[in-house]
Chain A
Amino acid sequence: MTDTFTPWTRVEMAKLIARDIPDGAIVNIGIGMPELVADHLPTDKEILLQSENGILGMGPKPGANEVDMDLINAGKQPVTLLPGGAFFDHIMSFSLMRGGHLDIAVLGAFQVAENGDLANWATNDPNAIPAVGGAMDLAVGASNVFVMMELLTKKGESKLVQSCTYPLTGVGCVNRIYTDHAVFDVDSDGFVVRELAPGLSLDELTRRTGLTLRAA
C-alpha cells in the first residue's frame, strides 16, 4: 500500500524547527534552506542568533534605507543588530562556536548517517571547487546539531543513509533531522522518528529510506 501524503513545505519545516528552539537559546543558522528558520522565530521567545563573522543578537534584514555593508551575515547579506546585540572578532566568534557556548546549529546537508555523521560541504564531483567555511566548526562545536533538508534527492534517493558516501563534515555530530517527510532524532542505535508528515506511515517512510527506523 502506498499512502498519499502531503510533505511539509520548507516554510512548515522552518516553523517546526522554530517551535523546538527553547527560549533563551543561542543559535547559529546555516546558509541556504536554514535561513528560513530565522524568518519564523516565535516572538514570544528570546532566541539569540549568532553569526560566525562576529554577531550575537543578529536581527532581521534591514529596510532599503538601512543597508550597511559593514553589517552582514555569514551569507554576506545585510542584516541588523537587535538592541543588546554585540559585535566581536573571529577569535571570539569561533570560541563561542567551538567552546560549548552555542546551543543549536541548524545546518543543511547532503547526507546524514545513522551514526550521526554529517556530509554537507562537498560532493564527489571532481570539478567542484571545495569550500567549507565554518561548517566543520559548527558540526563539532554546537551542543545540538539540527539538520534541515528534503528527505530525498531529485533522483529519489534517501539522504538519510547507513553510512555517508560524500566527504564528512563531522563525525557522529547530528542530533536531529527535519525533513519534508518526518522529524528524526539520532541516538546510539540509529534513527528514531519523532513526527511524521500528515498521512505518512512509518512503514511507507521505512520503504522510502530503506533504513531501519524506530518510532519514538
Chain B
Amino acid sequence: MIDKIFPDTQAAVADLPDGATLLVGGFGGAGMPNELIDAVIARAPRDLTIVSNNAGNGTKGLAALLQAGLVRKVVCSFPRQVDSFVFDELYRSGKVELELVPQGNLVERIRAGGSGIGAFFTPTGYGTPIADGKETRVIDGRGYVLEYPIKADFALIKAYKGDRWGNLVFRKTARNFGPVMATAAKVTVAQVEEVVPLGSLDPETIVTPGAFVNRVVAVGLGAQ
C-alpha cells in the first residue's frame, strides 16, 4: 500500500538537513508553500541554498525563512521587488549570496535536473554578463550558452489537491514552478488545500503524477 500523506507540515520536513538545497515553488505569493516554509523555520536547519523565482515578498514565506537567518545562498531570477526588503537588507550586508539566473534558464536547469539531462545550450543570456565565464557555441548561426542542471535535496511546492499516491492538480497561476520542481529533488513535499480519495482526481487533468511526489500534507481548511 502506498500512502504519502503526512499528518502535518512539521513531520513532512523533519529530516531536512543543514546545508540542504531547496527548490521552493511560487511566483510572488501565488504557489508559495508558506506553511511548509514555516515548518522549516521551526526546524531551523542552517546554511540552506534556496532556489526560487523570487527572494521573498513582505514578511511571510521565503522572506520569513531569510529573516530567520537560515539561508546562505539564493538562486533566483528576480530578487528585487517593491516588498523584498528582507532580502535586500541581507544582500546589502553580505549575509546572503545571490546567483542571478534568467527565468527561462532557471526553469530549464531545473527541468534538466529532473529529467536526466547533463547540460544544455540556451540562447537566453548570450552576449550578456550572465554568460561571462561560461562555454558558448554558435549553432545554425545563433549564439548559445551552456547551462548545467539544478538538483535539490528537497522541493517544497503548493498544489490544490492531492491523493495518497502523490498525484497533484494545481490552481490557476499558482501552478507555475510546482510541476518542474517536483521532478528535480530527492524529496518532493507538496502542501495541498485538500487530500482527496485515490481515484477521485480526473486522470486526464492530473498535472503532476505521483511518481514525482514523496510527501503530501494538507494545510488550512483541508487539514485534519
Decide if B176 touches A89 in the complex (CB within 8 Å): yes
A72 at the interface (CB under 8 A from B): yes
Q: Which residues of B contact A135 (CB under 8 A)?
A: 102
Number of interface residues of A (CB under 8 A): 40
Decide if B124 touches A137 in the complex (CB within 8 Å): yes
Interface bracket on B: 35 or more
Which of B2-10, B177-185, B211-219 contacts its partner?
B177-185
Which of B43-51, B60-68, B73-81 contacts its partner?
B73-81
Given contacts A90-B177, A140-B123, A140-B126, contact A52 B103 (CB under 8 A): yes
Decide if B80 touches A137 in the complex (CB within 8 Å): no
Decide if A53 touches B30 in the complex (CB within 8 Å): yes
Decide if A171 touches B126 in the complex (CB within 8 Å): yes
Q: Which residues of B contact A51 (CB under 8 A)?
A: 173
Q: What is the interface of chain A mostly: helix, strand, loop, or mixed?
A: loop
Decide if B103 touches A137 in the complex (CB within 8 Å): yes
Q: Give the complex CA separation of A128 and B88 in angstroms.
A: 10
- Binary interface encoding of chain A residues 29-69 relative to chain B, with 1 for a CB under 8 A from any of its CBs, else 0: 00000000000000000000001111100000000000011
- Binary interface encoding of chain A residues 127-163 relative to chain B, with 1 for a CB under 8 A from any of its CBs, else 0: 1111111111100110000000000000000000000
Closest to A167 in B: B129
Which of B14-22, B104-112, B148-156, B196-204 contacts its partner?
B104-112
Indicate the member of A52, A128, A131 with the most B CB atoms within 10 Å: A131
A and B contact pairs by CB, cutoff 8 A, 30 listed: A51-B173, A52-B103, A53-B173, A53-B176, A54-B175, A68-B172, A69-B30, A70-B31, A72-B30, A76-B28, A76-B57, A87-B173, A87-B175, A90-B27, A94-B107, A97-B104, A129-B88, A129-B98, A130-B79, A131-B81, A131-B100, A132-B103, A132-B130, A133-B103, A134-B104, A137-B103, A137-B105, A140-B123, A140-B124, A170-B128
Which residues of B come within 8 Å of A, CB atoms?
A: 27-31, 57, 77-81, 87-88, 91-92, 98, 100, 102-105, 107-108, 111, 122-130, 143, 170-180, 207
